[in-house]
Chains A and B, each alone.
Chain A
Amino acid sequence: GQNIDQPTEMTATEGAIVQINCTYQTSGFNGLFWYQQHAGEAPTFLSYNVLDGLEEKGRFSSFLSRSKGYSYLLLKELQMKDSASYLCAVPDSNYQLIWGAGTKLIIKP
Chain B
Amino acid sequence: IAGITQAPTSQILAAGRRMTLRCTQDMRHNAMYWYRQDLGLGLRLIHYSNTAGTTGKGEVPDGYSVSRANTDDFPLTLASAVPSQTSVYFCASSGTPGNTGELFFGEGSRLTVL
| Cβ B90 vs Cβ A42 within 8 A | yes
Question: Does A99 lie at the interface of the complex (its beta carbon under 8 Å from any beta carbon of B)?
Answer: yes
B interface residues, how many (CB within 8 angstroms)? 22
- Chain B facing A: main interface SS: loop
**What per-residue 1/0 map shows which CB atoms of A29-54 lie under 8 Å from chain B?**
01101010000011111001000000
| Cβ A101 vs Cβ B99 within 8 A | no
- The distance from the CB of A68 to the nearest CB of chain B, in whole angstroms, is 21
**What per-residue 1/0 map shows which CB atoms of B78-110 lie under 8 Å from chain A?**
000000000000100000011111111111100
| Cβ B107 vs Cβ A41 within 8 A | yes
| Cβ A91 vs Cβ B100 within 8 A | yes
- The distance from the CB of B31 to the nearest CB of chain A, in whole angstroms, is 10
| Cβ A96 vs Cβ B105 within 8 A | no
| Cβ A87 vs Cβ B42 within 8 A | yes
Q: Chain B: which residue is nearest A45 at the CB level? A: B102
